[in-house]
Chains A and B, each alone.
Chain A
Amino acid sequence: MPSLSSLHFKNRLFYVLLAAGGLVALAGLYAVHMMESHGHIISGMNNQIVWGIPHVFAIFLIVAASGVLNVASIGSVFGKAIYKARAPLASLLSIAMLAGGLTVLMLDLGRPDRIIVAATNYNLTSVFAWNVVLYSGMFSLVVLYLWTMMEQRMNPWNKPAGLAVFAWRFILTTGTGLIFAFLTARQAYGSAVLPPMFIVLSFAWGLAVFHVVQANIYAWNEKQLDPAIMNRKKNLLGVFVIGSLYMVAVYHLTNLYFSHRVGFEHFILRDGGIYTNLFWWGYVLLGNLVPLALIYLPGLGKGKCVMLASLLVIFGAFALLYVFIIGGQAYPLDIFPGYEVHSSFGDGQIASYTPSIYEFLLGFGGLAIAFIITTVSVRVLNFMPQDKAYIAD
């Protein structure tokens, strides 16, 4: 039982955390205001790198929002008790990250004031327009799913709602991958591997976020996570990390096989400076190999190691998305295959990109929104996983 003084301390800490999150979100809004009044000229984005740091943050949040629901699906769809106990928290995180990611995406628009146009003028052939439906559908379904879990009278509907969420999030992450898969003219994108790659990446990123949040909630409530449960979940993270590394390897290896994409692959894997470094050191080593060592090496794999592994997986996610989104645009479009090309518009040149502070403020603003939603919800409602005595199933 926590003492009275510790309760007072936690009470104050809660408001401090809330204020900190609020300040970061406000800083994000300030960045939006600045970009609204000055235009995107104050961002680092340009006519060559049209999507920048805000998109890295937004896509991380949206992909992780889908992946974190894996915890819920294993519980509701496959009936595993320890995951079922965590389904409410996973659903909450999904809603929070989706809200954060979509906010960033919307506020980075050139005309965010016209966002309603996306609903009133709908282009059926646009995967962006499909995503408008997929994202709003996801919100509604996850809220419904939470309702079936938290309201006893709705419990009988839990399984069908869980199934619907399970199917929907696969389609949603497919939609996110398709944003890039449909860009046929660009060497970096236009690959059918991308939707499944994003789905597997979402598993690893979502579970990593879940681990970090769960560890904090247990610490806050001064409870210990059953080591057997921790063991199972860290093994799952390990499998997901291996799976995502495999998908990324397949994507690059298939590109290397097509001679018209070899130049792009050499750029990312060998000659690309920041992109090459971020890929090998940031994504492969820190984002995959070190977490795998922390999980599987004998003597490691305990609470702190899993926490560190999860944080590194999240770091690796940002590194990979930076390489994928910005590196993919930095490499010039091959408008005239077989020719050397020069122009005043950067044709044939590697585009340069220096992200501005406003882009980071907007990105962190999105993270702050996810943080605020999670922190407030965890305090006012019961999202603490309630484990029965653990029995392997």
Chain B
Amino acid sequence: MSNADIQRRNFLKTTLGAAAVAIAPGMLLFEAAQAKSDGADSKVRWGMLIDTALCKEGCNDCVNACSRENGWKNNNLPTDPQWMRKINIKDISSGREISLPMMCQHCAHPPCVDVCPTAASFKRADGIVLVDKHRCIGCRYCMMACPYKARSFVHEPLHDQNPDVPRGKGTVESCTLCVHRIDQGQQPACTEACTNQAILFGNLNDPESAIAKKILSVASVQVRADLQLNPGIRYQGL
């Protein structure tokens, strides 16, 4: 074998080795990215059971936790976003008063998803209703369609956003059920913050879950059940 041949072989070997070293991390990253995009599990239906008897009037712990976690601020202007709010209601005939948190009810048949022209409003396989902030054109039709007034429009430029919760001026937003926390195995911020244990979060489809067991044993209702949207949020004592 001539010297030139050996040199050529060595050159090819080195080149191939260098190429492998260069490509390998990229391939590993590709694998990792693939592994991450498994998506939500359609066997799961996330939901909440809110016990109005335990929810105290004047207590805003859940709302404040939501605001901190998701980076929205309410200064009591009608243009301010409110992903979550406390509502005080009084039965007109009996005078009975109840206080409860209200937010996106994560309907099984969400009207916001039906009316959205660009499919920016969508429902994840696990029942969480979200807005794709890159697709939303800001037409606000979903806000007109939502029976719970759960959505807000971002009226002003935003600063210092939470990287886990992207938001955008000119788009519509609402409670995400803290999807970024759920995907890491955590509970929504409001559930964790409620010192009265009024909010029970879990998988409605799992018969062994605490929420499914409780829904079996106590009377609970969905708000505006007459609309047959099958919300994932249920209220006890309403």
- Partner-B contacts on A (CB < 8 A): 38-41, 46-48, 50-51, 109-112, 114-115, 117-118, 121-123, 125-129, 132, 179, 182-186, 329, 333, 335-336, 338-347, 351-352
Assess the A111–B227 pair: CB atoms within 8 A: no
0/1 interface trace, chain B 104-140, chain A, CB 8 Å (1 if under): 0000000101111111100000000000000111111
| A365 → B minimal CB distance (Å) | 18
B81 touches A (CB below 8 Å): yes
Contacts of A41 in B (CB 8 A): 79, 155-156
A184 to B74, CA, bound (A): 28
A322 to B118, CA, bound (A): 27
- B7-15, B18-26, B82-90, B191-199 - the one binding chain A: B82-90
Which B-chain residue is minimally distant from A42 (CB atoms)? B155
Interface of B is mostly: loop
Count residues of B near A (Cβ-Cβ below 8 Å): 56
Contacts of B137 in A (CB 8 A): 109-112, 114-115, 117-118
Which B-chain residue is minimally distant from A127 (CB atoms)? B115
Which A-chain residue is minimally distant from B170 (CB atoms)? A110
Q: A185-B111, A342-B88, A345-B85 are known contacts. Are A335 and B102 too (CB-CB below 8 A)?
A: yes
Which A-chain residue is minimally distant from B151 (CB atoms)? A47
Tell me which of B88, B92, B119, B153 contacts A110 (CB under 8 A): B153
Assess the A109–B170 pair: CB atoms within 8 A: yes
A/B pair count, beta carbons within 8 Å: 166
B169 touches A (CB below 8 Å): yes
Contacts of A345 in B (CB 8 A): 82, 85, 149
Tell me which of B85, B120, B168, B223 contacts A336 (CB under 8 A): B223
- Partner-A contacts on B (CB < 8 A): 74, 76-82, 85-93, 102, 111, 113-120, 135-141, 143-149, 151-157, 168-172, 223-224, 227
Assess the A50–B144 pair: CB atoms within 8 A: yes
Q: A47-B82, A345-B149 are known contacts. Are A111 and B144 too (CB-CB below 8 A)?
A: no
Of the candidates B78, B85, B152, the one having the most CB atoms from chain A within 10 angstroms of its own CB is B78
Assess the B91–A339 pair: CB atoms within 8 A: yes
Contacts of A38 in B (CB 8 A): 156-157
A129 to B114, CA, bound (A): 10
Contacts of A351 in B (CB 8 A): 78
Assess the A39–B155 pair: CB atoms within 8 A: yes
Tell me which of A40, A115, A125, A128 contacts B155 (CB under 8 A): A40
Which B-chain residue is minimally distant from A339 (CB atoms)? B89
